[in-house]
């Protein structure tokens, strides 16, 4: 089906093909442009999301690392007797000033080592030591820790200070229980200042980061905008139960791409929200460049299509109309040269078309002249055939005479004379009857009859050898083209020689031609005589009364098969002569 459509498209006029290809090209460019812009937006958003994921992962690692450090600090607290003394006090009055001073010094030292720690609180039912939280808040935190978790260390999430100077600040609280003799005697609460955590130095214009505890309390790590928080936090508060240590929560709205992960160490959720509109704004520069490139591509495509139409399509359409007009008027002659305004190739095509018709006009004249000459050649060839057959005597009388001679020779016991009469009868019967084109086998048989007569005449003057492939005997040749050449070889080459000679008749087949060789080792001929014969063989018309046998045979071959066929001759004085016939293979 596709092949049929392609075939139908190929057979459309070139103008329609051009319109279809142009439309498809423009649609394709527009589609690729829209796809590229959408892909760039998606890539920018994906990049911003990956950046946000990296930032939250880094913050989570920092928070986990800080909790691990606090575990180390709490270990030192667990082994220090000062804190056990502090927690084992039954009343504030039992706590000495030395213990208070030493605990204060230790707290100051720890806070100097870890600037993120804003406060270290010591709490049990008696002791309520803190610079950020009231006694009531401390007891609430203590009860929450003792009743809900048996772990020594755990995060409590985000808390607000109980005192006005720090009321608006959020602190991440990390708790460590202190045991004595296997029983809990109190808790140490580390409050981390959220403003000093490391993510605050990695702010991004395209993303917002939050820390939210399991109670839904949150702290904005890099944005204080309430409108942003109101758009993001409610979604997270409604879906935080779906998040585990190994499972994240993602949500994409028109404005934000939200992702929420859980840190089991800190027991908090880390939230990243990529501002989609901000990402789109930041990619506007890239989009403008891409748009400019697309516009430039569309412009160049249109320019190319217009140039192609003006230089190629429209001129070819004009050329097609000229051809259709000629077909409609049934004319094969141009009244005026074709002049098409187009590209160089189309202009050359018009010029070549004009020249072709001019050549056709010239060829028509040449064909007429050649037809006239061919008719003259035919008449001349017929005259040659007539001249040849005039040289033959009336066979009917000769048949009777030869039969009389044969019978008398047999009566007089002269078989040689009888054989000569039989051979002569065979020659003249072959010469006067049958078609002008005969199998090579028949031509060879009559030649052998002639050679037999000559053998009786010249006795032991020469030996005859035949080398004819069986396949060659099946091909058809012109009648009486071999015997005249054999007669020339005997009469002009062997008879004048004083030595015993050899006559060779052979044939050779190639892919398309039959070659017949007549060779003798007689007297040969001089260079002048050989050049004269070759010159006569190359002429189209026979104007010589000499060498009639070879020239007539050559003329008959060329007249029957064409100028590329005929006779070639090689000879050297006192070394013999080779005559070769070239004929086409015909069955």
Q: How far apart are CA 351 and CA 382, in angstroms?
A: 45
Q: Which fold is adopted by the domain 434-584?
A: Heat Shock Protein 90 (3.30.565)
Q: What single DSSP character describes residue 337? A: -
Longest dimension (CA), the chain: 183
Per the structure block, which two tokens stand in for 115?
A: 């600037």
Per the structure block, which two tokens stand in for 197?
A: 């955590």
- How far from each other are the two terminal CA atoms of the chain, in whole angstroms? 48
Place of tokens 């008879």: 495
Which of 184, 152, 185 is closest to 67 using CA atoms?
A: 152
Q: Are 271 and 207 in contact (CB under 8 A)?
A: no
Q: Kindly give the pairing relationship between strand 501-509 and strand 462-467.
A: parallel
464 burial type by CB count under 10 A (0-12 exposed, 13-18 middle, 19+ buried): middle
User: Could you tell me which residues come within 8 angstroms of residue 176 by beta carbon, excluding any fewer than 6 positions away?
Assistant: 70, 71, 74, 77, 78, 152, 153, 187, 188, 190
Residue 81: the pLDDT is: 84
Q: What share of the chain is helix, strand, coil (3-state, %, to 5)?
A: 60, 20, 25
CA geometry: angle at 371 spanning 368 and 374, to 5°?
155
Which CATH number does 80-196 carry? Answer: 3.30.450
Can you give the three-state secondary structure of 408-474, one letter per residue?
HHHHCCCHHHHHHHHHHHHHHHHHHCCCCEEEHHHHHHHHHHHHHHHHHHHCCCEEEEEECCHHHHH
Q: How far apart are CA 173 and CA 156, in angstroms?
A: 5
Q: Is 46 helix (H, G, I), strand (E, B) or coil?
A: helix
Residue 390: the pLDDT is: 47
Q: Are 308 and 18 in contact (CB under 8 A)?
A: yes
Residue 7: the pLDDT is: 63
This prediction has a pTM of 0.46
CA geometry: angle at 153 spanning 147 and 63, to 5°?
125
Sign of the torsion angle spanned by Cα atoms 287, 291, 292, 297: positive
Per the structure block, which two tokens stand in for 2?
A: 């596709």
Q: Are 69 and 114 in contact (CB under 8 A)?
A: yes
174 burial type by CB count under 10 A (0-12 exposed, 13-18 middle, 19+ buried): buried
Residue 475: the pLDDT is: 95
**What ranges do the domains of the chain cover?**
2-42+285-328, 80-196, 332-387, 434-584
Number of Cβ within a 10 Å radius of residue 526 = 11
Q: How far apart are CA 583 and CA 531, in angstroms?
A: 23
| Mean pLDDT by groups of 10 residues along the chain of 587 residues | 67 69 78 75 72 78 81 81 85 83 89 88 90 89 74 81 80 87 86 72 66 86 78 86 84 83 85 79 69 79 76 73 74 69 71 76 74 67 55 53 63 68 68 81 90 85 94 93 93 92 95 95 93 88 71 90 93 94 93
Q: How far apart are CA 185 and CA 71, in angstroms?
A: 18
Per the structure block, which two tokens stand in for 434?
A: 């049958």
């Amino acid at each position: 089906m596709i092949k049929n459509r392609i075939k139908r498209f190929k057979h459309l006029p070139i103008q329609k093909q051009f319109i279809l290809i142009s439309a498809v090209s423009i649609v394709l460019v527009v589609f690729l442009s829209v796809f590229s812009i959408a892909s760039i937006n998606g890539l920018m958003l994906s990049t911003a999301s990956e950046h946000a994921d990296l930032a939250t992962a880094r913050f989570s690692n920092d928070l986990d690392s800080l909790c691990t450090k606090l575990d180390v600090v709490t270990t030192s607290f667990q082994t220090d007797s000062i804190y056990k003394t502090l927690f084992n006090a039954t009343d504030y009055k039992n706590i000495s000033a030395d213990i208070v001073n030493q605990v204060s010094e230790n707290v100051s030292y720890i806070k100097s080592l870890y600037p993120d720690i804003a406060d270290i609180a010591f709490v049990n039912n008696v002791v309520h030591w803190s610079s950020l939280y009231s006694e009531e808040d401390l007891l609430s935190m203590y009860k929450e820790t003792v009743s809900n978790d048996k772990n020594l260390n755990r995060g409590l999430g985000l808390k607000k200070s109980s005192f006005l100077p720090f009321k608006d600040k959020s602190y991440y609280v990390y708790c460590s229980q202190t045991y004595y003799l296997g029983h809990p005697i109190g808790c140490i609460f580390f409050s981390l200042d959220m403003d000093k955590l490391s993510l605050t130095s990695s702010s991004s214009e395209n993303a917002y980061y939050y820390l939210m505890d399991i109670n839904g309390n949150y702290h904005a790590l890099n944005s204080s905008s309430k409108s942003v928080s109101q758009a993001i936090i409610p979604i997270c508060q409604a879906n935080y139960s779906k998040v585990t240590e190994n499972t994240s929560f993602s949500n994409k709205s028109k404005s934000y791409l939200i992702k929420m992960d859980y840190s089991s160490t800190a027991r908090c959720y880390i939230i990243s929200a990529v501002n989609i509109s901000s990402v789109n704004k930041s990619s506007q520069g890239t989009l403008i460049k891409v748009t400019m490139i697309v516009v430039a591509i569309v412009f160049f495509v249109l320019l190319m299509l217009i140039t192609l139409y003006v230089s190629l399509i429209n001129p070819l359409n004009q050329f097609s109309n000229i051809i259709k007009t000629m077909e409609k008027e049934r004319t094969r002659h141009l009244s005026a040269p074709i002049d098409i305004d187009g590209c160089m190739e189309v202009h050359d095509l018009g010029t070549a078309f004009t020249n072709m018709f001019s050549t056709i006009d010239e060829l028509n004249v040449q064909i007429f002249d050649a037809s006239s000459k061919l008719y003259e050649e035919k008449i001349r060839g017929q005259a040659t055939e007539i001249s040849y057959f005039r040289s033959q005597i009336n066979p009917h009388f000769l048949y009777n005479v030869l039969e009389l001679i044969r019978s008398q020779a047999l009566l007089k016991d002269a078989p040689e004379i009888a054989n000569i009469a039989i051979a002569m009868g065979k020659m003249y019967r072959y010469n006067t009857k049958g078609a002008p084109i005969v199998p090579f086998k028949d031509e060879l048989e009559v030649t052998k009859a002639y050679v037999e007569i000559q053998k009786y005449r010249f006795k032991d003057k020469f030996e005859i050898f035949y080398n004819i492939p069986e396949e060659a005997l099946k091909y058809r040749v012109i009648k009486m083209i071999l015997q005249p050449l054999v007669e020339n070889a005997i009469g002009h080459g062997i008879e004048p020689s004083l030595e015993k000679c050899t006559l060779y008749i052979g044939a050779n087949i190639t892919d398309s031609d039959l070659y017949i060789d007549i060779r003798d080792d007689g007297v040969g001929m001089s260079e002048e005589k050989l050049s004269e014969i070759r010159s006569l063989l190359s002429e189209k018309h026979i104007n010589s009364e000499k060498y009639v046998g070879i020239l007539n045979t050559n003329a008959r071959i060329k007249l029957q098969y064409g100028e590329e066929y005929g006779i070639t001759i090689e000879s050297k004085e006192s070394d013999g002569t080779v005559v070769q016939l070239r004929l086409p293979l015909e069955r």
